[in-house]
Amino acid sequence: MKRKVLIIYTGGTIGMEKDYESGSLKAFDFSTIASRIPEINLLDCDVTLSQFSIPLDSSDVGPEHWTAIAKIIEGNYEDYSGFLILHGTDTMAYTASALSFMLKGLRKPVILTGSQLPIGDLRTDAKENLLTSLYYASFYDGDEAVIQEVALYFEYKLLRGNRCIKASAENFDAFKTPNYPILGQSGVNLEADRNILYRAPKDEAFNVDLHISKKVFLIWIFPGMNLNELESFIKASEIKVLILRVFGSGTFFSDKNIENILLNIRANGTEIVIISQCISGEISIGKYDNSNIFKRIGAISGGDLTAESALTKAMHLIENPHYTESFGTLFQKNLRGEMSN
Ligand code: ASP
The string of pLDDT tens digits covering residues 236-253 is: 999 999 999 999 999 999
Catalytic residue among 10, 13, 177, 312: 13
**pTM score:** 0.96
CB of 179 shorter than 6 A to ligand 1: no
Of the pLDDT bands very low, low, confident and very high (cuts 50, 70, 90), residue 47 is very high
Taking only the tens place, the pLDDT of each residue in 179-232 is: 999 999 998 888 999 999 999 999 999 999 999 999 999 999 999 999 999 999
Q: Are 63 and 212 in contact (CB under 8 A)?
A: yes
Nearest CA to ligand 1 atom 3: 88
Q: Is 113's C-beta closer than 6 angstroms to any atom of ligand 1?
A: no
114 lines ligand 1 (CB under 6 A): yes
Distance 118 CA to ligand 1 centre (A): 10
When pLDDT is averaged across residues 324-333 and rounded to a whole number, the result is: 97
Measured in Å, residue 94 CA sits from the centre of ligand 1 at 13
Q: What are phi and psi of 109, to 5 degrees?
A: -75, 135
Read off the pLDDT of residues 146-169 as tens digits, 9 standing for 90 and up. 999 999 999 999 999 999 999 999
Q: How far is Cα 79 from Cα 81, in angstroms, rounded to an integer? A: 7
Q: Residue 321 and residue 255: Cα distance in Å, rounded? A: 37
Residue 244 is classified by DSSP as: E
Report CA 75 to chain centroid distance, whole Å: 21
Compute the distance from residue 242 Cα to the ligand 1 centre, in Å.
27
For residue 55 and ligand 1, the question of a CB distance below 6 A is answered with no
Determine whether 13 is an active site residue: yes
- 338: helix, coil or strand? coil
What does the DSSP 8-state code read for residue 117? Answer: S
Report the residue among 9, 30, 56, 89 best suited for mutation to probe ligand 1: largest number of ligand atoms under 8 A from its CB: 89
Measured distance CA(217)–CA(202) in Å, rounded: 34
